[in-house]
Amino acid sequence: MFRSEYLTDVFRKLKKTFSYQKEYIQSVNSFFASIDNYISKDPRIEQLSIIERVVIPERIITFRIPWADDKGKVHVNIGYRVQYNSAVGPYKGGIRFHSSVNESIIKFLGFEQTLKNALTGLPLGGGKGGADFDPKGKSDLEIMRFCHSFMAELYRYIGPDVDVPAGDIGVGPREIGYLYGYYKKLTNEFTGAFTSKGINYGGSLGRKEATGYGLCYYTQQMLEHFENTNFKDKRVIISGSGNVSIYAAEKVTELGAVVIAMSDSDGYIHSKNGLDIEHIKMLKEDDRERISSYLEKYPDTVYEANSSNIWSVKCDIALPCATENELDIDGARKLVANNVIAVSEGANMPTTAAAINYFLENNILFGPCKAANAGGVATSAFEMSQNAIRLNWSFAEVDKKLHETMKNIFKLTMTTAEDLGYPKDLVSGANVAGFKRVYEAMIAQGLI
């Protein structure tokens, strides 16, 4: 299975125990494939069972969430918080509200978050949380009741030096406000126990833009280093139309590219002359509309009610920013056939293993999510710092720190890939670089 007998043995045991957790097993499998050739270089890894200690979370908290809808009907959802690894710093990772949320998804996200956070060079451990609750179609009061019930359980396990949640899919400014407000009420503390907060109550300028902007900064470094080019005059497709997608679109436009296609879960829009990003931002952020409503102002735009077909649009650069496993081998083949030069991940694990391998085999630049979308958590760390010193930095200051951080992450993943003998394999570079920081911290701290 793997060259390393140690990795093969660990993976077989994990797969036997957690065979029903497909996202978690997929994430671990991809990680093991990347570090396979590296494992033998440090005998302490096997001797001290580092792999088992890295892939198994320190703890998983599961709880019920009862809440009442506007008609008085009581519903019960399941909540999770995976506190994955604290060797480098306090647990850090978002909260996701979506009907698909289960333990497997939260574990895979927490595992990915641990390695991603390590790549930033900041003192951040890894964690993730969420619930199988879908905010769509719910009133503000229903969402508030749910958030308060969720926090009534979670508050016991988080804090600015313990575990610091943030937003994710289904958890935007509204939900963060309700969650943090109730946390503050329960603890009687105004601390930096949450990030992605509103600017009026301890949030950081530049946080909502950070993941999308950081994705573009990382991708720009890839283009410049490997292809001696940049975003200028490139045609870009971006899956999704949430926070990451919108601000990635905003930044690539600023960098001189043309965004020709975007999507949501219903379908995608395409215009060869480019999309009106400001209008999409208004539809999504202000009006909470579906992307198909874009046609009301721009009726000549092509719309297809199948979001997976966005990868058939001819482009130079593709940025998958929606959800896990959205870009499969069929999509990869279409992109390569249409002469894509770079693919960079804005979502968490949006590209299947087969698709990643296909891109690498065809010499396509590929920016892995652990590195390429780390700008959000890096800026969350900036928010934590501002909260700790009771100061606010300007947007320009935060953006400068973000840009520098993404350049450093690219340099780290690139040089690590070169040291491994695979100069353009940034997937392996990211996995090994993040893993090294985590396991060296674990070794230094003993059996934790």
Give the whole-angstrom CA distance, residue 23 versus residue 4. 22
Q: What token pair was written down for 283?
A: 């539809």
Distance of CA 248 to CAs 272, 284, 296, Å?
Answer: 18, 14, 24
CB contact at 8 A, 142 and 70: yes
> Measured over all CA atoms, what is the biggest interatomic distance in the chain, rounded to whole angstroms?
64
Nearest to 107 by CA among 6, 171, 200, 14: 14
Q: At what angle do helices 103-119 and 395-420 cross, to 10 degrees?
A: 90
SS3 category, 348: coil
Hey, how many other C-beta atoms are within 10 angstroms of the C-beta on 417? 22
Provide CB contacts within 8 A for 259, sequence distance 6+: 236, 237, 238, 249, 252, 253, 274, 275, 277
β-pairing verdict for 74-85 and 126-131: antiparallel
128 is catalytic: yes
Hey, how many other C-beta atoms are within 10 angstroms of the C-beta on 254? 12
Q: What token pair was written down for 391?
A: 């100061």
Q: What are phi and psi of 268, to 5 degrees?
A: -140, 155
| DSSP character string of 108-122 | HHHHHHHHHHHHTTS
Say which of 107, 128, 234, 334 is annotated catalytic.
128
CA atoms within 13 A on the CB side of 63: 16
The DSSP element (H or E) to which 163 belongs, if any, is strand 163-166
The number of helix segments (H) and strand segments (E) in the chain equals 16, 12
Give the whole-angstrom CA distance, residue 111 versus residue 14. 14
Hey, how many other C-beta atoms are within 10 angstroms of the C-beta on 43? 9
The residues that are catalytic are 128
